[in-house]
Amino acid sequence: MRKRKHEFSSVFAEQIERYLRFMRGFERAFRVEEAILRAFDAFVCEREYDGDLTQEIAIDFAYSKPGLTSVQYAKRYRILRNFSEYLSVYNPGTPLFDPKAVRGRVERHPAHIYTDEEIALLLSQAKALGPANSPRPIVYHTLLGLLLSTGMRIGEAIKLDVRDVDLKEGLINVRETKFRKNRIVPVHDTTLRQLREYMEARNRFLLGAEQDAFFVNGRRNRLCYSTVVATFIHLARTAGIRSESGQGPRLHDLRHTFAVRRVLSWYDANDDIQAQLPALSTYMGHAHFEDTTYYLTAGAELMARASGRFENYWRDEE
């Protein structure tokens, strides 16, 4: 006989159901997460627990089912951690969980959110790249600016062909992304002007040579990922952003910076964050909602804005 599905009835029931509806708005089945959240709801009911969602109750639940692997225990905990991050958007008082409390897989590298000063230094160093008469200065200045202004992945940017960049309409067609999807990325007017300037310089440098790649190197070939990373590390070290030992912000943190700045702008405009997140997820090509909600807790400034909004809400209610 088939086991009857547990109906949500704990103190978290309404919040879990709202979270599931929100997640399915991203066209995800979310079946595994739903099953684990149902199990958590039943666990809470059995304990007659009526408190807040805490790390302690999440860990107790994660290990409550015997015989699982460390990866499975970590997944049960991670799903509750993602749920807590969702709740923290609307209630900044929600405690955030330690991502290392239940280990089972490699955790996400902490994001570095670049400051305006750091960005200016990186772009300045890019403009100063040698050798003389090389396309490298405008190539890397444009490439870094594109990553900062669109949040594109570096792999997506260097795979762009000329046909993918519509310099008339200001649209970039990102093909076969990390999750084998295509998406259209609109660019800001200032980014479009820089792309047009770069295209003119690129064509002068190629001297009629046929090359599909939008971003090219000094040998008139497509940029290589490892070379771009090495060049970025050189720029970051020269700018004093990375240490000589190799520690410091990464190229991928430009993508994190774009996302956090976008969410910050919504906080400043008092926009509905929940309504805006699906657009950000689509724009950045995320396959999982937790990849987008990560940016809601990635920066101290962002968390301060969220807390300030929450306090203003209660002040308005009084």
Instruction: Report pLDDT digits (tens) over 63-98.
Output: 999 988 888 899 999 999 999 988 988 887 888 898
By annotation, the residues acting in catalysis are 153, 178, 252, 255, 286, 295
Place 197 in a pLDDT band, splitting at 50, 70 and 90. Answer: very high
**Closest alpha carbon to 303 in 91, 13, 128, 77:** 91
DSSP assigned state of 213: B
Instruction: Say what angle helices 55-62 and 31-47 make with each other, to 10 degrees.
Output: 110
- The pLDDT of residue 48 is 93
Task: Give mean pLDDT, residues 213-235.
Answer: 94
Question: Cβ contacts of residue 198 below 8 Å, gap of 6+?
Answer: 138, 139, 142
Query: What is the model's pLDDT at position 313?
Result: 35
Contact 161, 263 (CB under 8 A): no
- Alpha-helical regions (H) of 116-159: 116-127, 136-150, 154-158
Kindly indicate the confidence band of residue 120, based on its pLDDT and cuts at 50, 70 and 90: very high
pLDDT of residue 244: 76
pLDDT at 91: 82
Poorest-confidence range of 29-38, 150-159, 214-223, 287-296?
Answer: 287-296
Cβ 192 vs Cβ 200: under 8 Å = no
Give Cα separations from 17 to 8, 11, 23, 38, 278 (angstroms): 8, 12, 10, 10, 18
Tokens found for residue 314: 């209660």
Indicate the burial class of 161 (C-beta count within 10 angstroms; 0-12, 13-18, 19 or more).
middle
pLDDT for residue 294? 60
What pLDDT score was predicted for residue 138? Answer: 97
Cα gap 156→228, rounded to integer Å:
13
141, pLDDT greater than 70:
yes
d(CA 309, CA 87): 14
Separation CA 36–CA 42 (nearest Å): 10
Closest C-alpha among 136, 232, 150 to residue 191: 150
**Unique residue bearing structure tokens 């310089």:** 201
Exposed, middle or buried by CB within 10 Å (0-12, 13-18, 19+), for 211?
Answer: middle
CATH number for the domain running over 116-238: 1.10.443.10
Question: Model's pTM, two decimal places?
Answer: 0.62
Q: Which residues pair with 216 in a beta bridge?
A: 222
How far apart are alpha carbons 88 and 75 in whole angstroms?
20
Residue pair 117/259 in contact by the 8 Å Cβ criterion: no
Which parts of 164-301 are beta strand (E)? 165-166, 171-174, 183-186
Mean per-residue pLDDT over the chain, rounded: 84
For residues 274 and 312, what is the distance between their CA atoms, to the nearest angstrom?
Answer: 18
| Of 299, 295, 300, the residue nearest 273 (C-alpha) | 295
Q: Which residue has the tokens 């103190």?
A: 11
Nearest Cα neighbor of 156 from 172, 142, 140 is 172
- Distance between CA atoms of residues 263 and 261, nearest Å: 5
Closest to 298 in 3D by CA, of 114, 25, 23: 114
Task: pLDDT band for 265, please (50, 70, 90 cuts).
Answer: confident
- The distance of Cα 59 from the centroid of its chain, to the nearest Å, equals 26
- Residue 1 burial (10 A CB sphere; 0-12, 13-18, 19+): exposed
Give, as one character, the DSSP assignment of residue 216: B
